Every structure is written in C-alpha cells, then in structure tokens.
Amino acid sequence: MSNRILKRLAGAVAALAVLVGAAEAATAPILLVDAETGKVIYGQAATDPWYPASITKLMTAYVALDLVRQGRASLDTLVTISPAAAAEPPSKMGFRPGTQLTLDNALKIIMVKSANDVSWAIGESLGGSVEGFADMMNETSRRIGMHESRWYNPNGLPDARQWTSARDMAVLARALMRDFPQNRDLFAIPAIQFGKAVMANHNGLLGRYAGADGMKTGFICSGGFNVVASATRNGRRIIAVVMGQPSARERDLKTADLFDYAFTQSPGWTSQSLDALPASASAAPPDMRPFICGGRKAPAIDEGPGAIAGNGAEGAIAQFMGQTAAASPAAALAAFSTAAVRNRALPPRAPLQPVAVWIGRSPAEGQTLLAEQENAAKTAAAEARAAKLEAAKAKREAAKEARAAKLAQAKERAAEARANAPAKPAAKPASLAAKAAPKAAARKPQSGIPQSATAYTSTAAEAPVIPAAKAKPAHKAAAKPAPKPAQQAKAASKPAKAKADE
C-alpha cells in the first residue's frame, strides 16, 4: 500500500473522528414557514447562530429599500465604487474605483451576481461608511424582530463576529415581502446583462423548480452552502431556510424536497410562530471549514463546487448535518439524507431572460462610459505592451554595454599586466657567452660558409669577444721537410706548359 493511500485513509479517519465528536453539538439549521401567517411548518436548529455568507445581502437590500421608503435615498441615487470596494474579493463585478451606478442597478446586481464590491459600495454610499451601514443593519434587525443576528459588513464575507439564524432570516424574508411588495421581482431576477455579458442568478431553484420566486444564496467555508428561498403554488407562498449544506447541488435538491413536503402540509392553530421558537443553547456558530473546504482553497464565488464527494467521510458529515430527529419521514428525507440526493438532479434551467443593468445614470450614459472604459483599457494595454518592448530593448542595450565594458576592462587589465611585468634580459651574460664561444668555434662551418660568417651581427659594443687563433709553434713550422728536386722541377715546368698552351 502506497504512502499516498495511507495518508488519505489517515485523513479520512481523522475527519470522521472530528465529525462524530462535533455532531453532538451542531445541527444544520432548516426552517419551513408559511409566508402569510408566519407559522412554522418544520424546523430544526432554527435559532442556532450560523454564519450567513451572502444571504447577508438580503439585509443590505432591506436597509437600502427602507431608506428609499423614508425618502432618505432613491433608486436613482448614485452608488460610487471606492478603492476599498473595488478591492473586495470575488464574487464581484470588477468595476474600477470611481465608477458610479444607480442604487436600483446596484440592488439587482447584488441579488443576481452576489457582487461583493457593489454591496460594499452600497454600504459606504448610504451609510457614510461600512461601519455606519452595519449600525443601520443592526438597528433595523432589532426593529423588525430579528434576535440572533449581528452585522459587521454588508456583503457577508467572512467575519467571525457576523452571525444570524434560520429564524432571523425567515423573519427578514417575510419583512421584505410585507414591506416592499412593489420590489418583489428584485428577488426573482433569473439573470442580468451588463454590456455583452449575461450572468445567471446563483439561486439554482429559479427556472428549475416550479413556483420558485426568490430569494438569495450564500456560501463561505465556515458556514457551508445557505439559501433563503421562496416558492408559490396555488396562491400559497412558502419560505424555506436551509443552511450549512456541503454543496450547492445538495442544498438545492434538499430545498426542493422541503418545498414538496411543505406544500402538502397545513399548519394548524397549534403550530408555533416564528416569535415563539425557543432560544438556542449554542453560544456561537460552529466553524464548518474543516468539513466543507478541508485544506482546499475556498471557491471564488458563493456557489462553489460541493466538497464532500469522495473524501471518505460522507456518513460522518451527514451525521454532523442533522442530529435532531425529524418530525416526519418526508422531512427527514429532505433534511438529512445525503445518499437520497446523490444520484438526482433538478430539471434543466429554463431559458434565461436577463434584465439589463448599466453604470451611470441611464443606459445611454452607461454605453458611453462603457465604451470609454473599453477604449481606456485598450490604450492601457497598448501602452503596457510598448513599455514591455521598451524595457526589453533597454535590457538588451544594457547587456550589450555591460559586455563592452567588461571587454574593455579585460584589455586594460592585460595592458597593465604587460606594463608591470619584469623586463627580459637583452643578451646572455658574459660568462655564458665566454663558455659558449669555444663550443661555437669547434663547430664545423655549414655549407661552405666560413666560421667567421656565423659571427654576431650586432654592434661592436654588443659583439662577444672571440679569442684569436693560436699560432703554430716555430719548431713545428721549421720541422717541415723541404721539397725534393724532382718535385721542384715539376712545379717549375707547369707555368711554362701553360704558356705554351696559350
């Protein structure tokens, strides 16, 4: 068995142990409510604190619409993207700092695209600052009857201090329906179109579940996959809040099952109201990051892929996600059974009918601004390419100059080395020349050249002194025998013969 397999098994066992231990203390919040009466059809862990993620944007929308209702803002109020807003992480529109859009378009964008940069800009523009807008969110929550919610930002990005509950979100959903009926379509937009781009709503029930008409999804690793959804059938509207699910697909399927169950139920006069639900014993939300994302990086948007498939701990996660006994078999199937939804899927989404959004005050101004931004982007790209080419040319020139300088330095060092080297002797020492002279004299002349021809051709001052040839002794010269008379006569006759020949 390879080390990799052993590590995987060890990780699965560790996750299983942690999950089994955590399951006794945490249950995924689920709540079904009749929208008109506020009666609870089914609930579990409904008041437990939970991290809301992007369903926070429902609270942002309520505060913004409430300011419009009070006359303190209008749907034409311009929202400005600040550098801080532009720096928020995805999901976002990616607008440049200084970009302005109407509050109406901003609300449509955050409900469909779940854009964190636009939500942040709404908070800054309407509240003076994000902190000021969070104060307005908290004051509004208390006023409409939300008990467990604590707000610190308008987009739902991770903040350990920002909590809510399934009950509070159901209260908020009912308040939006009751107080702003004219804005009901805001929460049911299937898609938006900005320029040429079409962006579908993250709510996977819209256009796929019959009667689904809102509202908002959300995801962070610490809270799992959440949704506040509404559906209408035969004139009756149900609100479903499902939180802490391990994937968007599983969340959508379970919510659809819960709707199917709710539409078969009629809460009686003994059914609990939202206000009557008992308070939670939990002091803080559970952190689901180890169970949802593990060691992986969080998805870039609030509709990331499911995280439990194939990790070896599906049973433990299912136990973690629902420990309380369900009130009926149908609700139990919808709320707890991961296996029941594994091989199922909702029908394909109906053809999208996007709603146009734009920057600026009007579509015409938006087109102009968008064209200007596109041209500016093209110009910036061209300038960047030119700068890159210029930088590459400068780099090549610098390298060429460096090589030339290096070569010049090498030549200079070589010249200095030659100048500083000790001079070589011009001639051999006299003692060596004296020793060499007898040997040179003893050599035979080459090719008939006299010995004297091999002498140095240097100046007299530089020429070595050659010893004179020794004269023969007189006694040796005298001892040479005189020629004989016959020889003398023969020698004397040679000239005469020569003359006779002439």
Q: Beta strand pairing status for 355-357 and 40-44?
A: unpaired
Widest CA span in the chain: 183
Residue 86: partners with Cβ closer than 8 Å, 6 or more residues away:
94, 95, 96, 97, 117
**Which residue is catalytic, options 92, 113, 114, 125?**
114
Quote the CA–CA distance of 480 and 476 in Å, as a whole number. Answer: 7
- In 3D space, the residue among 261, 195, 289, 245 whose CA is nearest the CA of residue 45 turns out to be 245
- In 3D space, the residue among 52, 376, 90, 364 whose CA is nearest the CA of residue 215 turns out to be 52
Q: Strands, E, within 234-300: which ranges?
A: 236-245
**Which SS3 state, helix, strand or coil, does residue 239 take?**
strand
Annotation says 196 is catalytic: no
**Which residue is catalytic, options 57, 92, 108, 254?**
57
Give alpha helix (H) positions in 422-484: 430-442, 474-478
DSSP 163: B
Give alpha helix (H) positions in 24-165: 56-69, 83-86, 103-112, 116-127, 130-144
Annotation says 114 is catalytic: yes
Distance separating the N- and C-terminal Cα atoms of the chain: 127
Upstream peptide bond of 91 is cis (omega within 30 degrees of 0): yes
Residue with tokens 């390879």: 2
**Judging by beta carbons within 10 Å of its beta carbon (0-12, 13-18, 19+), is residue 62 exposed, middle or buried?**
buried
Quote the CA–CA distance of 40 and 273 in Å, as a whole number. Answer: 6
Annotation says 2 is catalytic: no
In sign, the C-alpha dihedral spanning 241, 242, 247, 250 is: negative
Residue with tokens 């908002």: 216
**Which residue is catalytic, options 39, 54, 113, 282?**
54
Check whether 411 is labelled as a binding-site residue. no
The amino acid occupying position 462 is E
Binding residues, by number, are: 216
| Catalytic residue positions, numbered | 54, 57, 114
Binding residues for substrate, by number, are: 216
